Amino acid sequence: MEKFNTFYFEKFEFDETSLKAKFFYSFDKKEFFEEEIDFSSDLFKTRENLDKKIIDNILFSIHLALWISYYKLFPTERLIVKSGKLTENQIRFWEKFYKNWLWEFLYTNNINPKWLFNFENASNTKFEKTDFELSNKSLVPIWWGKDSIVTIELLKEAWADFDLFVFWKTDVLKENTAKIAWKNILLVKRKLSENLFKLNQAWYYNWHVPITGIIAFNMLLVAYLYDYKYLVLSNELSANCWNTLWNNFEINHQYSKSLEFEKDFKNYVEQNISNDIKYFSLLRWMYEYKIAEIFSKKAKKYFSSFSSCNNNFKIQKQANKNTFWCNNCPKCAFVYSILSWFLSKQELISIFWEDLYEKESLEKLFRELLWISGIKPFECVWEKEEVVLWMYNALKNYDKNLAFILEIFKKEVLVNLDEKTLENLEKKLLKVYDNDIIPNEFRKVVNNYKKL
């Protein structure tokens, strides 16, 4: 593995006819990367009289966000930006952004972060903020899981004007969700540099990329091109919970889904892009517990076409063809626990095809989810308190013969909890919390569900 000293943000290009953008990077001017993002759509029409200055300003920020896929191959001390000139405020934002994004990666690969994230401007090109008017339409990014489905159903009940958004590529689950919701998908296609995969095979570093932040910056250009004022995410309160401490730093696998990032991103957009775009999470005012309750009551029609399992869907051709769940990963175990109170044992098995509480092979994983041992898994799973309450309520679905995992829970966790503690925990997790980041236009959605 050859060592590198400097990472370069070389340049970006945009073709207003094809609506394709290209982004260029390099290590030491030796290893080069070219990524393409295709913003064109056969189903949606762009605004007229596109302003090149506005587009270039947004593309500059996208250029700075996409780089992480390449930089993590071999983190360097120097970061030289040739595609535009960063202000001091922008440098502070990107330094924090990258540190929070990469801390899990650095921890996992045992890389000392002390000398990283040093920006150097190598361009005099300044990009200026320009406000632009937008319609009151909303755009909702979707993946495979239940959270974006809940957002869809809440917006439909409020008669909001919205469309669905998919970044990178679509698949059967996303398409089924759109079909059930009677909505079209605005698809933005991403093509990573081939050199990335070549260097991955040459044993350079690799790890999870917090994709939500990358999507956020790409949605800014989509908002301008296709006229959307509201970019509506589906991130909940417990996305703020960290996984472990390292070098006195709280590592949060879900940092780019956290309220902290949401507020920082909002400020960045208002200072550098436009005051017109509103980026927020509609579910920020509740815990996953409340989301699962709404999903179980309002979204049964989606039960056969949702999944939170990243593992199984990546290897779908080799996996169980009857289900979109691998039933062996943190996401599967967690979502099974989420729904185990609100759904019967028979309903759960109809989704997962087996009782995960009976799987002895998941003992280590459930011990981590309950914080009995190990650390909270580096996945989009939530707080220990939520898992505790779900399992406590799941006990009611079993007779005297408890499932293997629930026996462990009863003997090692429940024995230390009294009824008052559990009652207070349920009140906390079912409460709907106010949040000033949600625009007033969407407050009625919050109020409708405070007493569900």
Tell me: do 132 and 170 sit in the same domain. yes
pLDDT digits (tens, 9 = 90+) for 381-397: 566 677 788 888 888 77
Tell me: do 187 and 57 sit in the same domain. yes
Q: Is residue 129 part of a domain?
A: yes
Average of per-residue pLDDT across 51-66: 97
Cα angle value 12/15/18 (rounded, 5°): 135
C-alpha separations of 236 from 64, 90, 118, 273, 342 in Å: 26, 27, 32, 26, 18
* Among 66, 96, 70, CA closest to 83: 66
The predicted structure's pLDDT at residue 380: 54
Average of per-residue pLDDT across 279-296: 89
Domain carrying residue 155: 6-281
Tell me: do 183 and 298 sit in the same domain. no
Task: Quickly count: other Cβ atoms within 10 Å of residue 30's Cβ.
Answer: 8
Tell me: do 264 and 355 sit in the same domain. no
Tell me: do 298 and 424 sit in the same domain. yes
Tell me: do 270 and 293 sit in the same domain. no
**SS3 breakdown of the chain: % helix, strand, coil, rounded to 5?**
45, 15, 40
* Residue 203 or 295, more confident: 295
- Residues recorded for the chain: 452
**Which domain-ending residue is among 262, 281, 300?**
281
Q: How many domains does the chain have?
A: 2
State the average pLDDT for the chain. Answer: 88
Q: Is residue 365 part of a domain?
A: yes
Q: Does the pLDDT of residue 365 top 70, yes or no? A: yes
The predicted structure's pLDDT at residue 407: 92
Write the burial class of residue 440 (CB in 10 Å: 0-12 exposed, 13-18 middle, 19+ buried): exposed
pLDDT digits (tens, 9 = 90+) for 260-272: 999 999 999 999 9
* Among 132, 328, 359, 148, CA closest to 236: 148
Q: Is residue 440 part of a domain?
A: no
In the 8-state DSSP scheme, what is residue 248? T
Cβ contact 230:135 at 8 Å: no
Cβ contact 253:380 at 8 Å: yes
Tell me: do 269 and 385 sit in the same domain. no
Q: Does the pLDDT of residue 27 top 50, yes or no? A: yes
Tell me: do 256 and 393 sit in the same domain. no
φ, ψ (nearest 5 deg) of residue 435 = -150, 125
pLDDT digits (tens, 9 = 90+) for 132-180: 999 999 999 998 789 999 999 999 998 999 999 999 999 888 999 999 9
**Which domain-ending residue is among 281, 310, 340?**
281
Tell me: do 186 and 314 sit in the same domain. no
Tell me, what CATH number does 169's domain have? 3.40.50
SS3 label, residue 8:
strand
Tell me: do 10 and 114 sit in the same domain. yes
The whole-angstrom separation of Cα 221 and Cα 215 is 10
Tell me: do 236 and 298 sit in the same domain. no
* Among 137, 177, 136, 184, CA closest to 153: 177
**Which domain-ending residue is among 218, 250, 281?**
281
In one letter, which amino acid is 14?
Answer: F
313 confidence band (pLDDT: 50, 70, 90) = low
pLDDT digits (tens, 9 = 90+) for 189-243: 999 999 999 998 887 888 767 789 999 999 999 999 999 999 999 998 877 676 6
The predicted structure's pLDDT at residue 182: 96
Tell me: do 265 and 293 sit in the same domain. no
C-alpha separations of 244 from 253, 255, 379 in Å: 9, 13, 12
